Amino acid sequence: MFSGCLLEWYCRGHRDLPWRRTSDPYAIWVSEIMLQQTRVAAVIPYYERFLARFPTPQSLAAAAEDELLGSWAGLGYYSRVRNMQRAAREMNGRFPSTWEAMRQLPGIGDYTASAVASIAFGLPHAAVDGNVLRVLSRVTNDAGDIGSSLVKSRLAAAAEARLDREQPGRYNQALMELGATVCLPKSPQCLVCPVASFCQARAAGSQNALPVKLRRAEIHRKTRRVYVVQHEGSVLLWRRTEVTEKLVGFWELPEAEQFQKAVPAGVPAGTFRHSITNHQYTFEVVQVHVQKSRPSVLDGIESRWASIEQLHDVVLSTTARKAFMLLSVLAM
């Protein structure tokens, strides 16, 4: 039986991750949101710090914006944490205990609701993420485009049909673990796979060709320049205030468009790379030392001078942190 072999393998040994040591739905939910688009190794320290600071939905709901954003700085995709706070406020202090109720909350989709419902409450819902889609495309030898809604629905139905309804949470975690550690995107480890005998792709010799993804997002590359303007130990920053901006509330280093007058002359200090989904940026860092009187802040936008010591308490964007790290001004 597929689920029996999978669960036996999982019970023999799996990664010891902090969110697997709890049945608290709030803590599991935090981990699932953090793990979206983010590697496990990167999430662990953020997860532990976040729960130490916000141990309950009530504490998350009451968090000030700077504290909230500061706890997430570096993880990216900040709409995730904003939606988490909105959801926490709608919970009224109690995490919902049904899939349907979870699904109504901001930022919780089918996968997240299924993962939390099954792991925390033992409810029979198959959690289908990218790892699961890859595993099941091989198990069923499905050569359809995994990016299409039709194929995703077909594979979700395959996951539901194989779900162990007695141990749905453990089953979901085992299937995700299989995709993360054995049924890899490239060079799947079929010789050690616990469900190899059930895998139709392996029987057909097509495991390396699956899953099929026909539509790939176009990569957009762009070079940008930021200015580290310094005067007597202080740095010029500006903050996004438009509620429609993804990084609203974060302090940034100015770019050319933030200067109403001529862009100050400076010294190139190096470059760093920064990626957001299918956008790849190369940032050029220019260091500017103002020798005379400190110029006024930037016109028309919220801006300030912050001392080097204050930077540790300022909610900086990831690109600002990378620029300061390049100059050895601030540790990440």
Residue 330's pLDDT is what? 66
Looking at 32, 48, 65, 218, which residue is catalytic? 32
What is the rounded CA–CA span in Å between residue 61 and residue 196? 45
pLDDT at site 332: 41
| Euclidean distance between CA atoms 20 and 28, whole angstroms | 8
Is-contact 294 235, C-beta < 8 A? no
In sign, the C-alpha dihedral spanning 74, 75, 81, 83 is positive
Verify whether residue 32 is a known catalytic residue: yes
Fill in the DSSP letter of residue 9. H
Q: The domain 2-209 is classified under which CATH number: 3.40.605.10, 1.10.340.30, 1.10.10.10, 3.40.50.2030? A: 1.10.340.30
**Domain 220-326: CATH superfamily, name plus number:** Nucleoside Triphosphate Pyrophosphohydrolase (3.90.79.10)
- Is 230 in contact with 329 (CB distance < 8 Å)? no
Residues 6+ apart with CB under 8 A from 262: none
Asked if residues 176 and 237 have their Cβ atoms less than 8 Å apart, the reply is no
Largest CA distance in the chain: 77
- Quick check: 57 and 93 in contact, CB under 8 A? yes
User: Residue 137 half-sphere exposure, CB side, CA atoms within 13 Å?
Assistant: 30
Beta strands at 267-276 and 279-289: parallel, antiparallel or unpaired = antiparallel
Of residues 280, 277, 274, 273, the one with CA closest to residue 220: 280
Do 2-209 and 220-326 share a fold?
no
pLDDT of residue 218: 85
* CA 151 from centroid of its chain's CA atoms: 24
Amino acid found at 320: A
Structural tokens at position 228: 């580290």
Q: CB count, 10 Å around CB of 136?
A: 27
Please state, in angstroms and rounded to a whole number, the distance separating the CA atoms of residues 294 and 283: 25
The whole-model pTM stands at 0.85
Neighbours of 172 (CB within 10 A): 25
Torsion, CA 36, CA 41, CA 42, CA 47, rounded to 10: 80
- In angstroms, rounded to a whole number, what is the distance separating the alpha carbons of residues 306 and 236? 7
Q: Which amino acid is at 152?
A: K
Calpha distance 15→41 (Å, rounded) = 11
Task: Residue 113: count other Cβ atoms within 10 Å of its Cβ.
Answer: 24
Cis peptide before 168 (omega within 30 of 0): no
Domain ranges of the chain: 2-209, 220-326
**Residues β-bridged to residue 280:** 221, 275
- pLDDT (tens, 9 = 90+) of the chain, 332 residues, equals 999 999 999 999 999 999 999 999 999 999 999 999 899 999 999 999 999 999 999 999 999 999 999 999 889 889 999 999 999 999 998 999 999 999 999 999 999 999 999 999 999 999 999 999 999 999 999 999 999 999 999 999 999 999 999 999 999 999 999 999 999 999 999 999 999 999 999 999 999 999 999 877 789 999 999 999 999 999 999 998 876 567 788 999 999 888 777 777 899 999 999 998 889 999 999 999 988 777 677 778 899 999 999 998 899 999 999 999 999 876 54
